[in-house]
Structure 1
Amino acid sequence: MIKAVFFDLYQTLVRYQPSQEELEAEALKNLGIDITAAALHLPILTANEYIYQQIARRPLSRRSREEVMALYMEYQRIVLKEAGITAEEKVVLNLLGMMQQAKMDLVLFDDVLKALDDLKKRGLKLGLISNIERDMSATLEKLGLSTRLDIVVTSQDAGFTKPQPEIFLHALKQANVKPNEAVYVGDQYQVDVIGASAAGIKGVLLDRDGYYQEKLDCPKIKDLKELIKLL
Structure 2
Amino acid sequence: MPSCKAILFDLDGTLYYQAPLRRQMLKELLLNLLRHPISGYQELRIVQIFRQERENLRYYTPEKFSAPLEELQYILPAQKLKIPEETVKKVVQKWIYDRPLKYLKDYKISGLDEFLAACKARNIKIGVFSDYPAEKKLKAMKINHFIDLALCATDPEINAFKPSPKGLEVAMKKLGLTPKELLYIGDHSEVDGLCAQKAGVTFILISPKPKKNIKIPQIQNYKDLAHLVFEER
TM-score range, shorter chain: 0.5 to 0.7
Give how far 1:19 is off: 2.6
Deviations 1:122-157 (A, max 9, x none): 22111111112x4x4344234322210111111132
Equivalent residue, structure 2, for 1:222: 220
Equivalent residue, structure 2, for 1:148: 146
- Please tell me whether the aligned partners of residues 187 and 207 of structure 2 are also in contact (alpha carbons under 8 angstroms): yes
With structure 2 as the length reference, what TM-score do the two structures score? 0.65
Aligned residue type for 1:154:
C
Percent identity, aligned pairs only, is 24
Q: How many residues align?
A: 186
- Please tell me whether the aligned partners of residues 53 and 191 of structure 1 are also in contact (alpha carbons under 8 angstroms): no
Unmatched tracts of structure 1, length 5 or more: 33-48, 72-98
Give how far 1:9 is off: 0.7
Give how far 1:56 is off: 2.4
50, 72, 79: which one aligns with 1:62: 72
- Please tell me whether the aligned partners of residues 9 and 184 of structure 2 are also in contact (alpha carbons under 8 angstroms): yes
Structure 1 stretches of 4+ moved >6 Å: 26-32, 49-52, 68-71
Unmatched tracts of structure 2, length 5 or more: 35-50, 61-68, 82-93
Structure 1 residues 118 and 68, CA gap change in structure 2 (3 angstroms): farther
Mapping 1:91-170, distance limit 5 Å: 103-105=99-101, 106-107=104-105, 108-132=108-132, 134=133, 136-157=134-155, 158-170=158-170
Equivalent residue, structure 1, for 2:13: 11
Structure 1 residues 226 and 26, CA gap change in structure 2 (3 angstroms): same
Deviations 1:14-57 (A, max 9, x none): 3469732245467679999xxxxxxxxxxxxxxxx988854522
Structure with greater proportional helix content = 2
Equivalent residue, structure 2, for 1:207: 207
Equivalent residue, structure 2, for 1:181: 181
With structure 1 as the length reference, what TM-score do the two structures score? 0.66
SS of equivalent to 1:21: helix
